[in-house]
Amino acid sequence: MIDGIRATTVKARSTGAGAARAIAIAAALLCLATLAARWPGVAMYDSISQYEQATSGDFFDWHPPIMARTWALLIHIWPGTAPFLILQVALWWGGLGLLGAALARTGKAKAASAVLVVGALPLFVGWDTVVLKDAQLASCLVATMGLAAHFRFTGGAIPRWAVAAILVLLVYATLVRGNAVFATVPLALALFGWLGVRRWWMRGALTLGLILAVLVVGPSINHHLLGARASKVERALPLYDIAGIAHQAGLPTVAGATEQAWREGERKGCYTPYFWNPYGMPTQCESLGDSVAFDAVSGAPLMRAWITLVATHPIAWAEHRLRHFNSNIRFLVGRGQSDAAPPAGSEKNDDGLGAPPSGAGRALVTAASWMAATPLGWPFAWLALALALLGAIRDVRAPIAALGATLAFSALVMGASYALVSIASDLRYHLWSMLATALALVLLVAADALDRRKLRAGLVVVAILCLIGVAARIVLPTEPYPYPVEGKLSGSTIA
């Protein structure tokens, strides 16, 4: 009998090892296919700006300078977008391959295959092939997750070299996007056992405290360690909130602008819940943005005006934030909201970045566009699903369940942060949150860690929200990319 048990155990291990090898091979093939479809990578406006910083050596902090600094090193080996594309795609499929193989070794072959399916969803992998900070954030965190799973799922300790690699990836991810801290801090704390903290409210306080600490020291790292000049990027959020409060409250003007200038800005439709951009574009409302926020040497008056307006008009501020959050998570919006699918090719530039899109690349973008038009491409649906998963968890002691809960928590904190700190509504901002939630679902189901009654109730709520989202897209007018045309805003704002 003992010999039979041993034989069964050996056979199970052999089967698991074989499944793990198959997953690893599949991930490698998907990596090569992704590179071939989108070679040599796609560059957007942000990417081009950072590449020009890398080539000129003149760094500034409008976009986190860690990416431009890294690019400055890579161009000595291989100019253009190709090295970053290789790095992003390798981290993406490497991390997913490690996670899938770890699941396969524990006998969860279906969940392992599901991981690769999630990673291959066209909207997700399509954005990962754009050389952009959002893709780099997601790729780094996917690799972090894969490394942790590789060792933790079999009950082993993470070796020092892997811990070092995880820390490097987490630090880079935190610095590569201004609000990445809302995703990386919860993920890091959970991966490292919450530093021994057990009570949930203390974990919440620790998360909030570390997020605030990183936000405080981040500018110093960018300016002093990475040598980036100040671009006054920190004034964009106060400017947007001030404009939003004044618009909602019907104020005659705001500090820094004359009544005539403010009235003209309102007539032109400078304010939109979609984003702050009109106040920063020369052909739109830049003069108003400059007078309110960017012309002053010190930002202190702007900050005082911001705090004062929030304190004296809290309802208008809440309405402005809620309308923008609605646009950001794409809930009650018209059909065809802009900035959803990844671009097929690079924006025009004088730096030789990008190449004409291949047939496979166009097909990938077309599929991503179809996905973006469904609940699978609506951030609010993934945000609701993450909350439903966290509410249905009944046991996280197993490593697979613990990682699933970690991913759902990181996704929820990141997604919810846009209610307070967001200034634009691009879908790419939610790449990590959507991917992490999908993977959390796979892991928590595989670990049988969910209370089925609570999960069903949560899924019903998610389905109802999706039906409301569908109804909104039928009833509300289409909202194209908003920009002033002949004194009016092109497209409607969200009611």
**In this predicted model, what pLDDT tens digit does every residue of 326-344 receive, in sequence order?**
999 999 999 888 889 999 9
Nearest by Cα to 152 from 192, 188, 187: 192
- Whether 186 shows a pLDDT value over 90: the answer reads yes
The DSSP symbol for 295 reads S
pTM of the predicted model as reported, rounded to 2 decimal places: 0.92
Per-residue pLDDT, averaged over 134-150, amounts to: 97
Identify whether the C-beta of residue 406 lies closer than 8 Å to the C-beta of residue 186: yes
Mean pLDDT, range 170-189, rounded to an integer: 96
Largest alpha-carbon pair distance within the chain?
91
pLDDT at residue number 495: 27
Distance of CA 325 to the CA centre of its chain: 15
> Which residue bears the tokens 């040497």?
297
Residues 240-249 have a mean pLDDT of: 97
| 473's tokens | 């897209």
Residue 422 is predicted with a pLDDT of: 95
Question: Residue 491: pLDDT above 70?
Answer: no
Any residues with CB less than 8 A from the CB of 222 and at least 6 apart, and which? Answer: 61, 64, 65, 66, 175, 228
Angstrom distance (rounded) from CA 175 to CA 183: 12
Kindly tell me if the per-residue pLDDT of 493 is higher than 60. no
Average pLDDT of the segment spanning 302-309: 96
Q: Is the pLDDT of residue 286 over 50?
A: yes
Rounded to an integer, the average pLDDT of 191-205 is 88
Altogether, the residues listed in the chain come to a count of 495
What is the token pair recorded at 408? 């759902």
Reported as half-sphere exposure (CB side, CA atoms, 13 A), residue 488 has a value of 4
Q: Which two tokens stand for residue 168?
A: 């490097």
Distance CA 141, CA 187 (A): 9
Is residue 168 helix, strand or coil?
helix
Task: Give the pLDDT confidence of 39-75 residue by residue, as tens digits.
Answer: 999 999 999 999 999 999 999 999 999 999 999 999 9
User: How much is the average pLDDT of 457-479?
Assistant: 94
CB atoms within 10 A of CB 80: 20
Grade residue 187 by pLDDT with cuts at 50, 70 and 90: very high
Average predicted confidence (pLDDT) for the chain: 91
Q: What does the alpha-carbon distance between residue 492 and residue 470 come to, in Å, rounded to a whole number?
A: 18
Mean pLDDT of 242-253: 96
Cα(142)–Cα(134) distance, integer angstroms: 12
Give the Cβ contact number of residue 187 at 10 Å.
Answer: 27
Q: For the residues 475-484, what does the mean pLDDT come to?
A: 67
The reported pLDDT for the residue numbered 274 is 93
Cβ(50)–Cβ(67) below 8 Å: yes
Residue 154 has pLDDT above 50, yes or no: yes
Q: What is the pLDDT averaged over residues 372-399?
A: 96
Coil/strand/helix, residue 485: strand
Under a CB-based contact definition with an 8 Å cutoff, are residues 284 and 277 in contact?
A: yes
Residue 470 confidence (pLDDT): 97
- Cβ proximity of 256 and 291 under 8 Å: yes
Token match 């809960």: residue? 405
Q: Hunting for tokens 């972090």 — which residue is that?
A: 144
- Is the omega angle on the peptide bond into residue 399 within 30 degrees of 0, that is, cis? no
Answer for the pair 130, 42: CB distance below 8 angstroms, yes or no: yes
Q: How many CB atoms lie within 10 A of CB 154?
A: 12
Query: For residue 320, what pLDDT is reported?
Result: 98
And the tokens for 145? 């997750």
Domain residues of the chain, as ranges?
A: 11-229+350-475, 233-326
What is residue 490's predicted lDDT score, i.e. its pLDDT?
37
**105 within 8 A of 17, measured Cβ to Cβ:** yes
- pLDDT category at 17 given cuts 50, 70, 90 is confident
CA distances from 465 to 19, 127, 278, 344 (A): 38, 25, 31, 31
* Amino acid 480: pLDDT: 55
Which of the 8 DSSP states describes residue 229?
A: B
pLDDT of residue 454: 97
